[in-house]
A = this chain, B = another copy of it.
Amino acid sequence: MTIFHTTLPLPTDDSIGLYDVTATIQAVVNSTQVQQGQVLVFCRHTTTALAINEYETRLLTDIKTYLRKLAPPTEVYRHNDLHLRDVPADEPENAHSHLMAMTLNTSEVIPIVDGELALGTYQSVLFVELDGPRQRTLFVQVTGEL
């Protein structure tokens, strides 16, 4: 039984942005030589998320619009009353980012079959920045048998 993990740097370039990390994750799986098992992809941030869906440019725009409709950045939130909290001077007003993250997922578990992520034809693993741009990281843990 192999249990391997790594943390990869993932710089983002937008306030809300979706990044296809499928090839990155497959490369980690390849490096372990695990043939049957699972990969756990995990966000160690509270204003990013993971999803598995289609990486199609126009759909990505729809997803951003959808998230902004669910949790509008312009709404009044208590978490954004920074003067009432003990926070650093550069603390962002990002309550909406936390709410979007909770609507999506902190992690995804993907099966590995014969050394490959067992994804469907149109599925990509999407890292979702919700309060960027920032230097982020992606935690990847591979479990299985060679």
Contacts and interface: CB of A to CB of B under 8 A. Distances in A.
Q: DSSP class of A's interface residues: helix, strand, loop or mixed?
A: mixed
Contacts of A134: none
User: How often does this chain occur in the complex, in copies?
Assistant: 3
Interface string A111-133: 10100001110110000000000
**Contact-residue bracket for chain A:** 35 or more
A68 interface: no
Interface in A53-70: 53-54, 56, 58-59, 61-63, 66, 70
24 contacts: A1-B1, A1-B145, A3-B144, A5-B118, A37-B143, A38-B40, A38-B143, A40-B109, A42-B110, A43-B120, A51-B106, A52-B107, A53-B101, A56-B85, A58-B77, A58-B81, A58-B84, A59-B77, A59-B95, A62-B78, A102-B104, A106-B123, A107-B109, A111-B139
Interface of A: 1, 3, 5, 36-38, 40, 42-46, 51-54, 56, 58-59, 61-63, 66, 70-71, 77-79, 81, 84-85, 95, 98-99, 101-111, 113, 118-120, 122-123, 139, 141, 143-145
